[in-house]
Amino acid sequence: MSRATYDVVVVGAGIVGAACADELARRGLRVAVIDRDSVGSGATSAGMGHIVVMSDSEAQFALTRYSQLLWRDLSPELPSEVEYQPCGTLWVAADEEEMAEVRRKDLYYRQRSVPVEVLDAATLARLEPNLRPGLAGALLVPEDAVLYPPCAARYLMELAKAKGAELHLGLSVSRIGQGRVLAGNREFSAGAIVNAGGAWASELMPEIDLRKRKGHLLITDRYAGYVRHALVELGYLKSVQSLTSDSVAFNVQPRITGQILIGSSRQYGAEATSVDSEILSRMLRRAQQYMPGLGELSAIRTWTGFRAATPDRVPYIGPWPEDKTIVLATGHEGLGITAALATGQLVADQLTGTKSRIPIEPYLPARIATERIHA
């Protein structure tokens, strides 16, 4: 059995693993990345690519805002195939009750210095003429963006490689711990192992509480200008927060190509990768309630992917208390594209003893161990 030694071995070459590898290599560490498939082949190739600041919890806000700004700083150097578009998000309110939520979100963001604007019904209709008439208004978050996640992951991995990181593809990791990574007939030794295995991270560590949350997406042919912002119904937040039932929400995104990405669904306990026609129809019916013309457009492809969901909807970022050679970087659920760059920073901070720009405590996996003791 061959053996190689690194400062850090990153398991998983999704967007989170790539961002960690890039930042660790930038800080001068000797890094290897291992993936059983190719770069960005997991949830990263299935995701929508919405870079979005969220306000569900302070922990989620801090991480997504930090990362949104990192993406913005990086954007001038992103190659065109990453398709970064600072198109902003419109959180769409269907009625007066949802306008109250728009105002609550508006206040929340303003108090935290995020630029936002409350739009009335007429302004919303002018900005997005293909939405149905009669909607109440929206909250515009102009610094949100969209990008094409697999190309973003490949770009980050290229940056990491240029700084000396080694990439091992087609190699399945079967065991990690005590500074050792076993992959096929190869063994890697490392001061630290970053588990960035996405929804599969718990295969290597069954003690972490991670559930697969399946999502469906559909992409249309090219209809330039049909959708101009990332559009999300405010009811999306209820869909995200539902811990039990299958849910769908209106969530559409423009691509630079003129294509429209239509989402999204959330299902626990659905392990098959196949498209479920019943949930797809529900999702499209919901989308047409907001944008009736979508039904006339031609669809090119539908697919599914798996988000890695934690019980408290906050990712696990930091050392695993029961084996400090393992650092977790997973559990980002529907926000891993957004949060990848900040995750890379937090992981690198932990491994180089650097104080992080945001408080790290809410993300530390130590909370899992505490929950297990109190269960």
Ligand X SMILES: Cc1cc2nc3c(=O)[nH]c(=O)nc-3n(C[C@H](O)[C@H](O)[C@H](O)COP(=O)(O)OP(=O)(O)OC[C@H]3O[C@@H](n4cnc5c(N)ncnc54)[C@H](O)[C@@H]3O)c2cc1C
Summarize as ranges the residues that interact with ligand X (CB under 6 A).
11-17, 34-37, 41-44, 46-50, 172-173, 196-200, 203-204, 215, 217, 263-264, 305-307, 330, 332, 334-338
Residue 85 per-residue DSSP state: B
**Of 99 and 365, which CB lies nearer to ligand X in the complex structure?**
365
Q: How far is the CB of 162 from ligand X (least distance, A)?
A: 20
Instruction: State the Rg of the chain over Cα.
Output: 20
Residue 170 per-residue DSSP state: S
Q: How far is the CB of 339 from ligand X (least distance, A)?
A: 6
Q: How far is the CB of 245 from ligand X (least distance, A)?
A: 17
Token digits of residue 356: 């992080």
> What span, in angstroms and rounded, lies between the C-alpha atoms of 314 and 294?
33
Q: How far is the CB of 70 from ligand X (least distance, A)?
A: 13
**Of 121 and 209, which CB lies nearer to ligand X in the complex structure?**
209
Q: How far is the CB of 150 from ligand X (least distance, A)?
A: 9
**Of 52 and 99, which CB lies nearer to ligand X in the complex structure?**
52
**Of 22 and 35, which CB lies nearer to ligand X in the complex structure?**
35
Q: How far is the CB of 152 from ligand X (least distance, A)?
A: 10
> What span, in angstroms and rounded, lies between the C-alpha atoms of 130 and 4?
56
3-state SS class at 237 = helix
**Of 89 and 356, which CB lies nearer to ligand X in the complex structure?**
89
**Of 15 and 193, which CB lies nearer to ligand X in the complex structure?**
15
> What span, in angstroms and rounded, lies between the C-alpha atoms of 268 and 276?
13
Q: How far apart are the first and last CA of the chain?
A: 41
> What span, in angstroms and rounded, lies between the C-alpha atoms of 320 and 311?
17
> What span, in angstroms and rounded, lies between the C-alpha atoms of 317 and 296?
43
**Of 68 and 356, which CB lies nearer to ligand X in the complex structure?**
68
Largest interatomic CA distance in the chain: 68
Q: How far is the CB of 373 from ligand X (least distance, A)?
A: 27
CA dihedral 160, 64, 40, 333 (to 10 degrees): 140
Q: How far is the CB of 122 from ligand X (least distance, A)?
A: 28
CB atoms within 10 A of CB 252: 26
**Of 48 and 364, which CB lies nearer to ligand X in the complex structure?**
48
Question: Quick check: 95 and 122 in contact, CB under 8 A?
Answer: no
Closest CA to 51 of 83, 94, 25: 83
Question: Quick check: 138 and 122 in contact, CB under 8 A?
Answer: no
Closest CA to 347 of 33, 74, 5: 33
3-state SS class at 240 = helix
Q: How far is the CB of 120 from ligand X (least distance, A)?
A: 27
> What span, in angstroms and rounded, lies between the C-alpha atoms of 328 and 320?
7
Q: How far is the CB of 182 from ligand X (least distance, A)?
A: 10
3-state SS class at 280 = helix
